[in-house]
Structure 1
Amino acid sequence: MTVCYEDFTPGEIVSYGARTITREEITAFATLYDPQPMHLDEAATANTMLGGLAASGWHTICILMRLNVDHMLKDSASMGAPGVKEVKWLKPVRPGDTLSVRRTTLEARLSQSRPDMGFVGFLFELLNQKGEVVMTQENVMMIGRRGTGDAHVS
């Protein structure tokens, strides 16, 4: 069954995912998209505020997106998002960290102009294996409503 607008209740907290990050993944992403020393070279970053190799924040956002797709969006009536309200990088993501998501539904409101959808506000927290929040993202998603004639919503 497809997850629709009606399935999200403000105040609901759901946890999912477990993805272990490797050194090779960190440096491969950095080589392509964020080639700064703190994402590429252990020795160069040892004496910086990060104190060692750390994943790019943009890599961390991509990991959150992947976990959201795998555990929520692929089985939902998602219709996209108008943007991201806020992102905060709180702790470095290191090789060997295992990341998971804690999703809090902040709000749910019907669209005034499109009766086939609603807007759902979320706080996504990305946690490491110690339960520490390494990143937060707050945004609103457009999600299809059940029974509005949209063929992809069951």
Structure 2
Amino acid sequence: MSDKQLPIPPGDLRDVYGDDIEVGIDLPTGAHTVTAEEIVDFASMWDPQFFHVDADAAAHGYFGELIASGIHTLAVHQRLAVESHFARWNVIAGKGIRDLRFLVPVRAGDRLTGRLVVDSLERDGRGRASIRIRAELTNQHGQIVMELTMDTLILMRPETP
């Protein structure tokens, strides 16, 4: 679980439409502290390389200790983005991720915080828009550990009769 709980009650509260989102807005997300147990559990299921799942072997590897899988780091980003913002947005679907870069290894005990910056919003004339978002995760030392650009499809506010 992340350090920040879902900011809205469970249910179907999606009150943010494409019309409500401003290009250039800088949106902070919550925080999540990664544990060694979480690193091993995630990687055991999805990326079972020795430096993710075996602390003894990882101690003799390049990084000298367990590090989180990049896919795990991406999942942390997604969870924080949903908890902080996307749970309220009328998202239709993700369209793509590009320029995904893992810049610094994520280690047990790292506290990750994120931010989203809306770079563009293009209406398609069919009651929806495509939003381009730059995102990053930063550790407690101020180092950017991951960055990416994503495109998301969102509903525009329905017209009232």
Structure 2 length-normalised TM: 0.85
Q: What is the CA deviation profile of residues 133-152 of structure 1, one whole-angstrom value per residue up to 9, with x for unaligned ones? A: 10012111111111346xxx
Asked if 1:136 is matched to 2:147, the reply is yes
Q: 2:57 aligns with which of 44, 50, 57?
A: 44
Aligned to 2:130: 119
Aligned to 2:38: 25
Asked if 1:63 is matched to 2:76, the reply is yes
Q: Secondary structure at 2:87's aligned position in 1?
A: helix
CA distance in 2 between counterparts of 1:3 and 1:132 reads 31
CA distance in 2 between counterparts of 1:8 and 1:128 reads 27
Aligned to 2:26: 13
Q: What is the CA deviation profile of residues 101-146 of structure 1, one whole-angstrom value per residue up to 9, with x for unaligned ones? A: 111111111114x2x1111100110111122110012111111111
Percent identical: 33
Gaps of at least 5 residues in structure 1 are: 150-154
The alpha-carbon distance between structure 1 residues 36 and 145, as it changes in their structure 2 partners (threshold 3 A), is same
Gaps of at least 5 residues in structure 2 are: 1-13
Alignment RMSD (CA, Å): 1.5
Structure 1 length-normalised TM: 0.88
